Chains A and B, each alone.
Chain A
């Protein structure tokens, strides 16, 4: 839970926080690492690394299978993580939390188990123009196989969803709306609650891609009013290869399993098989136990540090970096929504993002360059690629200064 002392929320002690991230003390090409690629994946605090290490050292066993102590301890830790994720999202029940490999798998689960069984040719799925490929391609595959149609909710030049135009796109054939909570390519925070209210009026379920939201804001799926919420642990200081799907219990209950195997069954015989209860019905095979435990540790760590305090710190970094970057000649920020997460995509005249990425890497600065798995966004803004800086709780103003110095060095070198 968030630490509040004497009624006033303390500011983040970033320097002390940084000590918890071993990788931040390393050097890159002989320079101190300045890690500004957090939207791709965040770094892990000791709390997460040690939780996973402890599992392997002290109680490694399979879950929900054995009567021996190690298995009991592993199962307990695994289910504690599910409880932590339930708290994180303010879901009503742990039965609504399905562990997946990450956001992508969570969306694919919804595509294959929720939509596919009832989808008919001519049915429609709506997604925004700013989606990550993971919230486009699963629907395209489904459309190809069923004859359903994928329609696109438009955005403006600031990179904001045109909510007013969404209603006209909803028809009686609309079966689902997919929306990214915070855009990884633009930083835009979408008006998900408003969109959900609108969708509810037309009885259309909404899936939210929350990969970039959970590290930066308190998410409450009940307050948002969505039907599915997908997330990845590694964007929020947890391990890779683990994430979760939250779904409204009555929807998950009605959905068939999507992968068959152990764990997801109640009784198997050659005459027929019955499914396990939620959420195990959707968790076939031995799960990523260490990953789940690390995920739980990341949630607890976020609760202790306080996501609101993190958000305040990151908002200051975003403001400062935006102001400084707008002063750089020839620099264009792609995505200037009024409500943004700590992500800045940009282009620099005369310097290809690829070259920029390579050159500033040699000054210790790690940024992302390319299409950010959101090629339709690049097409919308008419750029082949962008460079992107993205901030996390441990970033410092001084690191933004260092990045901007490196940017000038790259420009001098190339032009």
Chain B
């Protein structure tokens, strides 16, 4: 529809999923995204999975960036892509990052598990904000323009 062309900034949803109160890293990420020119809808800590999706529907978001720092990410993120599909956002870009699992597990295994859940990218602990910005720029440039919105 009309305004999709042109210089409308991309809209990103950020937040910390589940019963997780670790907000600092997510805030730093949100600030970096805003400085890079994105429109950021930041949902903050303790955000249920469905609230990410509802916010994305209403704001016609281009991507959802889910943070999880307390080791329960795998449990909280299960079915996230399915929720998006259910809400008509089958093709939305979704990232996840943080301390996604407990204990010492090899990152490639963890990453694989989250990609299998339907996340487009998973980021290990210690990721720099610049890496996320690069990934977004790359993915937005290469993915087909989403329909609707």
Mutual binders A and B: no
Chain B interface (Cβ < 8 Å from any Cβ of A): none
